[in-house]
Every structure is written in structure tokens, then in C-alpha cells.
Structure 1
């Protein structure tokens, strides 16, 4: 599986969206796979919830949604230029108070840099789904323009 991700990273280098989502059920090994990839590439896995949470904690609640995308780009910009960005723990992006689109936020990062992200939801047919429809954090996206790798 690790070799498949590396191959996909090479293949997406010349596409407009350089995003690979690792999708699987809880405890399927997505984070472990991302850690192995980070080790093999000599880079680090970025814990989005931790890093973004630290930066947003100092902001008033009403400014967090407006700043979330910019802060995410700032965090991502600290990574070495040629290395792919390895994103994990994206759940904070789904916080309803932020009023952002988590997938679009990640896609924006993937226009200029290769991104491998652990999708915290599941794949249902051709849809990327996060949380049940009755949950306030529920999101449902088309997988168009995204390379999805099921773990």
C-alpha cells in the first residue's frame, strides 16, 4: 500500500489538484500508513487538529472561521517545499462554528503542493461522507477531482 501511495504522489505531480485522500473505517490503519509514509519520505505528519487548534485558541470565537483557512495555509507553508504535505486529524475543520468547507480547504492546499490526507469519514459510492446526516458536523462531497485510496 505504501508503494501505491508513492506511485500516486508521482502521478499527481502534474495535475491541477494534487490531493490524495486515505479513506477507511476507524482503526483501519490510515494514520499508521501516513506515519510510515512520513518516515520513508523523511518528512513529518501534520496533526491539523492540534496545530490549528493551538493557533485558533487565542482568537475570539467569531474570528475563527474567517481565519481558519489562512491559518491552515500558514501551518502548511512551514513544511519543506518539495515534500508532500501529510495531513491527519482533520476533525477540527468540520466544526460547524467555523463555517468552512473542510474538503475545499484541503483542495486549496493541493493546488500548489502534493497533499496526502486522512479522511476522517467514509466513502459511500462516489461520495465522501463525514458524520451521520442528523449530526451538526455532517458533510457530503463528491469525490470528483480527488484521488481516493481506500485502506
Structure 2
């Protein structure tokens, strides 16, 4: 599976949006696969919730909304290695109080470098989904222009 992922990571270099989404049920191994890729590429995985959360916690609520994108960009620059950024634990980006569009934000960042992100959701009816319908952070997106890497469908 790691070899297939690495092949896809190399393939996205030529795309306008260099975003690859690791998609699979909780506990299927997205984080471990990212860690394995990081070890192979001699880089690290940016755990967004912990790192960005610490930086945002020092700001008043109004400033968090204004600074979240900038702080994420700074963290991305500090963690990227050879044009590759690995992201995990991105649930904080869906926090309604930050007023972010998580997928759009990731797409913007992927114009500058390849990004592989553990997507904490699923694909349902050819749509990328985060959370369950009715959940306050529920998001649904078109798959158009995305590079999904589904762990539950790869053997």
C-alpha cells in the first residue's frame, strides 16, 4: 500500500492542485500510512489539531478566525520537505468558529506544494463527506479535481 501511495504522490506533482486525500474509516490506518510515508521520505507529519490549536489558543476568538489561514501557511512552510507536506488530525479546520472552508484551504495550499492529508471522512454517493448529516460540522464536497486515495478499497 505504501508503494501505491508513493506512486500517487509522485504523480500529483504535475497537477495544478497537488492535493491527495487519504480516505478511510477511523482506525483503518491513515495515520500509520502517513507515518510510514514520512519515514520513507525523511520528513514528518504535521498534526494540524495540536500545532495549529496551540497557536490559535493564544489568540482572542476574533483573531483566530483572521489568523488561522496565515498560521497554517507558516506551519506548512516549516514542515514541508522537498515540496511535500503531510497532514493529519485536520478536524480543527472544520471548527465552525474559525469560519474556514477546509477543502478550499487545503486546495489553496496545494498549489505551492504536494500535500497528502488524512481526510477524516468518507466518500458517499460520489461526494466527499466530513461528519454525519445533521452534525454541526457536516461538510459535503464534489470529487471534481480531487485525488482520492481510498484505504478501505485498496488491498
TM bucket by the smaller chain? over 0.9
Task: Tell me the residue number matched to 1:28.
Answer: 28
Cα separation, 2, equivalents of 1:69 and 1:128: 22
Does the alignment pair 1:117 with 2:120?
Answer: no
Task: Tell me the residue number matched to 1:89.
Answer: 89
TM (normalized to structure 1)? 0.96
1:47-70 deviations in Å (ceiling 9; x for gaps): 000010011001101111121111
Task: Tell me the residue number matched to 2:48.
Answer: 48
Number of residue pairs the alignment of both structures matches: 151
Structure 1 residue runs of 4 or more that deviate by more than 3 Å after TM superposition? none
* Unmatched segments (≥5 aa) in structure 2: none
1:4-42 deviations in Å (ceiling 9; x for gaps): 111111111111000100000010000010000000110
Task: Tell me the residue number matched to 2:17.
Answer: 17
Task: Tell me the residue number matched to 1:63.
Answer: 63
Cα separation, 1, equivalents of 2:112 and 2:80: 13
SS at match of 1:148: strand
Task: Tell me the residue number matched to 1:74.
Answer: 74
Task: Tell me the residue number matched to 2:142.
Answer: 142
Cα deviation for residue 125 of structure 1 reads 2.7
TM (normalized to structure 2)? 0.94
CA RMSD of aligned residues (A): 1.0
SS at match of 2:123: strand
Q: 1:51 to 1:121 in 2, by over 3 A?
A: same
Does the alignment pair 1:98 with 2:92?
Answer: no
